[in-house]
Amino acid sequence: MGRGLLVLAFCLVVKAYVLVQAQLGRARYVSKAVAKVRGVKMVHAVTGIYDVIAYLEMRDMNTLSELVIKKIQSVKGVERTHTAIVV
């Protein structure tokens, strides 16, 4: 029983969608740059209020937070982000 719990603990990940507003004309550049970030599983340039939506899987909330702040928000052309954690 304890062994099964150990395996389960290693399988848990934090999943999130990061919605990005980009500067005018920068959505494609931003989506390509965000796609290169380790931990980002999928990226799409979209229409609407947000220009790019990225799907991430990280090992914990701290790692997710650091990735969004240090890697995604620092991409040239990113104006703001909104992170939605999968529940």
What is residue 14's predicted lDDT score, i.e. its pLDDT? 95
Which residues make beta-bridge pairs with 16? 56, 85
| Confidence grade of residue 47 (pLDDT, cut at 50, 70, 90) | very high
Largest distance between two CA atoms of the chain: 55
Tokens read off for 68: 């969004």
Name the residue among 80, 79, 87, 78 with its Cα closest to residue 14. 87
What is residue 76's predicted lDDT score, i.e. its pLDDT? 97
Domains along the chain? 13-85 (3.30.70.920)
d(CA 67, CA 54): 12
What is the three-class DSSP state of 40?
strand
Tokens read off for 8: 């389960």
Q: What are 30-44's pLDDT values in tens digits? A: 999 999 999 999 999
